[in-house]
């Protein structure tokens, strides 16, 4: 039986309760990811995608329900206490790296996270450097030959790919990708998605990727879920997912929800 890597049970979250701005973001949400699942998440504006991801990460406490990561009940834990279980790549390429530090220094920070404190200026060993080179070469962006370059000199796509590597140097129980290609141009986004596929498949990572792009949601991962009004309304995997088109996905959404899909960005990316 497959190991459950992420479980959300009856998760509820309401913002500004009891006010005119009350917004039910998660409404009795249930979701299980088995080890090795690569799930893409799509939905209209305000469907609850980002709220779900932030609930898993511990950014926002939930009102009701239970969240388990790798068998650990993290429901009441703040983000910093569950950080060792999670790898995360944000939408903004500038968020995950230190611009004034070298590529290898950024990688060393990520690699040594949670290990007994070494003075940061401790020399990066030859073996460590070789490991960084090998991991960087997977990205196919030529970064393995630029270990001492300052990260601030890299393009947005290169920084995002580096952040991805940093988030997975210590194998997380779950990798959270928060629209991590949304700020990139289409060509660069495709490169970062290809790098994502390589990193995820090489390590067999359990992954949740939020995207606005229907094509990307269909093309990547082994499972696609669609959210609406804080709940999962579609959960498609296997052969059914392989045979999906944007048109059939839109049709399924309208069939299940009784309304038209309302996300211009996703529709434009058809």
pLDDT at 60 over 50: yes
With respect to residue 249, please indicate whether it lies within any of the assigned structural domains. yes
Sign of CA dihedral 237, 239, 244, 248: negative
CB-facing half-sphere around the CA of 151: CA atoms within 13 A: 23
Q: What is the mean pLDDT of residues 124-145?
A: 90
The CATH number of the domain holding residue 35 is 3.40.50.300
Picking from 65-74, 113-122, 214-223, which range would have the lowest pLDDT averaged per residue?
Answer: 113-122
- Cα gap 131→118, rounded to integer Å: 19
With respect to residue 125, please indicate whether it lies within any of the assigned structural domains. no
pLDDT at 78 over 80: yes
Reported confidence tier of residue 230, pLDDT bands at 50, 70, 90: very high
Which residue segment(s) compose the domain that 231 sits in? 4-96+173-268
What totals of helices (H) and strands (E) does the chain contain, helices first?
A: 10, 10
With respect to residue 14, please indicate whether it lies within any of the assigned structural domains. yes
pLDDT at 115 over 70: no
With respect to residue 213, please indicate whether it lies within any of the assigned structural domains. yes
Yes or no: say if 68 and 3 are a contact pair by the CB < 8 Å rule. Answer: no
- Cα gap 67→258, rounded to integer Å: 30
- Tell me the percentage of the chain whose pLDDT exceeds 70: 91
With respect to residue 136, please indicate whether it lies within any of the assigned structural domains. no
The predicted pLDDT at position 116 comes to 58
Helices within the chain (DSSP H only): 49-57, 79-82, 103-111, 126-139, 156-168, 186-203, 214-219, 238-242, 246-257, 264-268
With respect to residue 19, please indicate whether it lies within any of the assigned structural domains. yes
Tokens 């944000």 correspond to what residue?
90
Q: What are the CA-CA distances from residue 240 to residues 141, 195, 266 (Å)?
A: 33, 25, 20
Count of structural domains within the chain:
1
With respect to residue 39, please indicate whether it lies within any of the assigned structural domains. yes
The predicted pLDDT at position 122 comes to 62
With respect to residue 87, please indicate whether it lies within any of the assigned structural domains. yes
The predicted pLDDT at position 111 comes to 87
Model's pTM, two decimal places?
A: 0.91
């Amino acid at each position: 039986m497959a190991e459950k890597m992420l479980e959300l049970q009856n998760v509820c979250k309401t913002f500004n309760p009891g006010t005119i701005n009350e917004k039910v973001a998660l409404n009795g949400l249930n979701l299980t990811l088995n080890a090795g699942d690569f799930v893409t998440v799509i939905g209209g504006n305000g469907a609850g995608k980002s709220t779900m991801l932030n609930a898993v990460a511990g950014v926002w406490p939930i009102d009701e329900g239970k969240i388990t990561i790798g068998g650990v009940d993290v429901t009441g834990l703040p983000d910093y206490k569950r950080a060792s279980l999670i790898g995360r790549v944000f939408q903004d390429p500038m968020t995950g790296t230190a611009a004034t530090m070298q590529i290898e220094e950024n990688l060393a920070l990520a690699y040594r996270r949670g290990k007994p404190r070494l003075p940061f200026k401790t020399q990066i060993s030859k073996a460590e450097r070789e490991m960084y080179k090998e991991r960087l070469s997977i990205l196919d962006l030529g970064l393995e030959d630029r270990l001492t370059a300052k990260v601030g000199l890299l393009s947005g796509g290169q920084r995002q790919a580096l952040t991805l590597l940093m988030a997975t140097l210590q194998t997380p129980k779950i990798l959270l990708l928060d629209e991590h290609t949304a700020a990139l141009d289409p060509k660069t986004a495709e490169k970062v998605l290809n790098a994502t596929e390589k990193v995820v498949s090489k390590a067999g990572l359990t992954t949740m990727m939020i995207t606005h792009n229907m094509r990307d949601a269909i093309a990547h991962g082994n499972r696609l879920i669609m959210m609406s009004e804080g709940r999962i309304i579609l959960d498609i995997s296997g052969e059914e997912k392989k045979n999906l088109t944007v048109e059939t996905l839109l049709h399924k959404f309208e069939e299940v929800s009784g309304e038209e899909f309302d996300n211009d960005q996703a529709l434009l990316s058809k």
